[in-house]
A = this chain, B = another copy of it.
Amino acid sequence: MATGSDIQQRLEEMRAALVKRGVAITPKRAKVLEILATSDEHPNVGDLHAEVQRWHPSTSLATVYNTIELLKETGQVLELEFSAAANRYDGRRPDSHPHLVCLECQRIDDLEVPEPEGIFEAIGAETGYEVVRQRLDYYGICPNCQKKRESRLSGQAGFVALNDRANY
């Protein structure tokens, strides 16, 4: 369970990450951060937008998307993706099983990992849910794309320093 100081700490991490990233903590952005640090309901963009608007009625959807993008870049929010791309299908193994998803080329490989016996029942007993299926995906870079990356990077200079700016 989250205590008040947990939330304060989370909020401070988020703010620090954005400042380090070189962007301003504007009132509207601050409100998005606050909702995300507070809510345990896994809100979607529409939820966030509606809530921010209670305080800043002129806020647009684009601002919420913009703030989330910044938080994603800095690892300050976990996105549960339901709409990244087109659905993919597996007709050879119609039972749920783990996959390896390449973030670069969208290749998807099956992964052979036996599922713990009776896991659905165990989770059901603990949480009250009636579990019917699972989804376990590992995301990363496939061997091919790693090679491509190496050749692209070889002989390239280091990063350029990002700009920094005073807050609002």
A-to-B contact residues, CB < 8 Å: 2, 7, 10, 14, 33, 35-46, 48, 68, 71, 75-97, 99-100, 102-103, 107-111, 120, 123-124, 127-143, 146
Contacts and interface: CB of A to CB of B under 8 A. Distances in A.
Contacts of A132: 103, 139-141
Contacts of A135: 80-81, 135-139
Number of identical monomers bound together in the oligomeric complex: 2
A139 B131 contact: yes
Contacts of A136: 134-137
Nearest to A132: B140
A75 B89 CA distance: 12
A80 B71 CA distance: 26
A80 B94 contact: no
A36 B89 CA distance: 8
Given A136-B136, A138-B123, A130 B108 contact: no
Given A7-B92, A129-B138, 18 more contacts: A10-B92, A36-B91, A39-B92, A40-B92, A44-B87, A77-B90, A77-B91, A78-B89, A78-B93, A79-B88, A80-B90, A82-B88, A109-B127, A111-B127, A129-B141, A130-B141, A131-B139, A132-B139
Nearest to A84: B82
A39 B91 contact: yes
Contact of A138 (B33, B48, B120, B128): B120
Contacts of A108: 41-42, 80
